[in-house]
Structure 1
């Protein structure tokens, strides 16, 4: 293990053990380096890396602190990874979504109210008139977010947003016949809403699984088309 990686793991261990609880200030650089058996340069590199991960935060003129360690901070880097993911990486993210979202929507089906159904209907009515991928995706995000928030688990909501960001969704739609994709996605959204309105968890899970599986197929087809184009161009 590289010296810097070793330093990172040692600081993480102090946080996990509670020796450095969330919000606490790190000891002076010299003292911490001695305590961990590290050079000050290795410690500085480790601290910079942990700041980038949002595990530590620096306060100008005050020192370095353990962050709040809230999920939205720690998962922020994964959002960027999802934004730039293409090909197999994008397919893997959608596979994670397919494993999580159907069960989340099933839970939502047992908690949905008439007001929720009405709000979701308004979103779908607006999405039916979307003419661009960007416009549709904004409404798509709102539709899925409203449903997932019914579960009442912020970590789950965040994870599902991470594995399917706006940027990723727009890229998927642009990579295929956008007009046909919008019609297909809208039809699948209607099926999900009908299952929710019926308070049918099993049907809600099934319609959601079909929807995400369709997105996976689009990604696979788009990736295959890119490979064919590259082969022809080569």
Structure 2
């Protein structure tokens, strides 16, 4: 194990055992390096690695702090893995996305009485998608993709599991270009997708767990089929 890896492991252990918590300031560099038994250069490398992972943040002139440790921060680096895997393996990435989002839709349906702010926002995202398709200049594909991402984000948030939502966001954000490609190359793909989204939301709002799961799965399988045909 390198000294940098040791720093990462030791600081992570300090967080896990409660010596450091979200928002806490790390000891000054000299003292922390002595506590960990490493050089200050190794400490800096370890801190940089943990900053990239969303665990620490360095504030100019104020020191280094533990972040909020929000799942959305910690899942962020997963986006790079997704991006790299998407090259030639896009269908595999979407298969994982389908597994997560199918269960998120089911959980959202189970918790949908009465529908909360997240499901209302999901409906607004679909209205925005419809508007993006009905512009005088034709479909605004950038706005349509943004609405697509927002819809899936809000359904995932409605599931009530922030880790699940963060993973879905990480996968969804890095796979948006595949959906854009489908929309540009398949006739009526955007309109079909909007209809499928509305059916998913209706099932979730009705609290129909099985229908929500099936509707989401069928919607995402259609994307996978498109990608399999390309590869």
Measure the CA separation in 2 of the matches of 1:104 and 1:119. 19
Task: Note if 1:181 corresponds to 2:186.
Answer: no
Verify the 8 A CA contact 1:84 1:168 in the aligned structure 2: no
Q: Which residue of 1 aligns with 2:36?
A: 36
Match of 2:178 among 171, 175, 186: 171
Q: Which residue of 2 aligns with 1:228?
A: none
Measure the CA separation in 2 of the matches of 1:199 and 1:34. 56
* SS of alignment partner, residue 163 of structure 1: helix
Change (3 A) 1:135 1:22: closer
**Structure 1 regions of 5+ residues with no counterpart?**
225-234
Verify the 8 A CA contact 1:133 1:170 in the aligned structure 2: no
Match of 2:208 among 192, 200, 203: 200
Task: Note if 1:107 corresponds to 2:107.
Answer: yes
Which TM-score applies when normalising by structure 2?
0.79
Q: Which residue of 1 aligns with 2:150?
A: 142
Larger radius of gyration: 1
Structure 1 outlier segments of 4+, above 6 Å: none
Offset of 1:209 from its aligned partner?
Answer: 0.6
CA root-mean-square deviation:
3.0
Verify the 8 A CA contact 2:126 2:194 in the aligned structure 1: no
Measure the CA separation in 1 of the matches of 2:125 and 2:180. 21
Which TM-score applies when normalising by structure 1?
0.78
Change (3 A) 1:213 1:58: same
Change (3 A) 1:168 1:46: same
Measure the CA separation in 2 of the matches of 1:182 and 1:12. 45
Change (3 A) 1:201 1:36: same
Change (3 A) 1:180 1:122: closer
* Residues paired across the two proteins, number: 222
Measure the CA separation in 2 of the matches of 1:62 and 1:143. 38
Verify the 8 A CA contact 1:93 1:164 in the aligned structure 2: no
Verify the 8 A CA contact 1:100 1:160 in the aligned structure 2: yes
Measure the CA separation in 1 of the matches of 2:3 and 2:30. 17
Offset of 1:217 from its aligned partner?
Answer: 2.4
* SS of alignment partner, residue 175 of structure 2: helix
Verify the 8 A CA contact 1:123 1:143 in the aligned structure 2: no
Taking the TM superposition and a 5 Å limit, the aligned residue runs for 1:19-30 are 19-30=19-30
Offset of 1:194 from its aligned partner?
Answer: 4.4
